[in-house]
Amino acid sequence: MTTSKMLGFLIILVILVGAVVAYSKKPKSITTTTTPTSSTQTQTPASSTSPAGGNIKMTNMMFTPSQISVAKGATVTWTNDDTVTHTVVDDLSNVGGPASGDIAPGATYSFTFEKAGSFQYHCSIHSSMRGTIVVK
């Protein structure tokens, strides 16, 4: 082998070894951990429990919250925060649930639940508005 070929071979070998060493020292993955100094979280439950009673808003063509649990003997109050008239009517009118009649915008309707059970209700004007009261 000639000196120039040997020198070329050594140069290529040095370059390859350098590339392998550089690649092996490169970090494979970086893990970053962030610790907040202060954190406050507020969660709104899908349903709420209130032994003293409950409040439901009629807004954006929905009952909010759509389900609550109350104790037997508790009063639930619906407030119409919408711009149109709504009603609160028990799906099974023969079980002694709410039957409000028209509730004008800004008005309220209250009903005291004397029986335990699950009461599904709706707005008789807007059939897509539905809710449930669970009485324990």
* CATH code at position 79: 2.60.40.420
pTM score over 0.85: no
pLDDT band of residue 11 (cuts 50, 70, 90) is confident
Within a domain: residue 111? yes
pLDDT of residue 107: 96
pLDDT of residue 81: 96
pLDDT of residue 34: 34
3-state SS track over the chain: CCHHHHHHHHHHHHHHHHHHHHHHHCCCCCCCCCCCCCCCCCCCCCEEEECCEEEEEEECCEEECCEEEECCCCEEEEEECCCCCECCEECCHHHCCCECCCECCCCEEEEECCCCEEEEEECCCCCCCEEEEEEC
Tens-place pLDDT, residues 39-52: 333 333 334 444 57
Q: Which residues of 100-121 are buried (b: 16+ CB within 10 A; e: fewer)?
A: beebeeeeebebebeeeeebeb
Query: Domain residues for 129?
Result: 47-135
Residue scoring higher pLDDT (61 or 1): 61
pLDDT of residue 4: 76
pLDDT of residue 21: 61
Within a domain: residue 17? no
Residue scoring higher pLDDT (88 or 18): 88
Within a domain: residue 8? no
Within a domain: residue 3? no
Tens-place pLDDT, residues 60-118: 999 999 999 999 999 999 999 999 999 999 988 666 789 999 999 999 999 999 988 89
Q: In Å, how far from its chain's centre is CA 24? A: 46
Within a domain: residue 41? no
Number of domains in the chain: 1
pLDDT of residue 83: 95
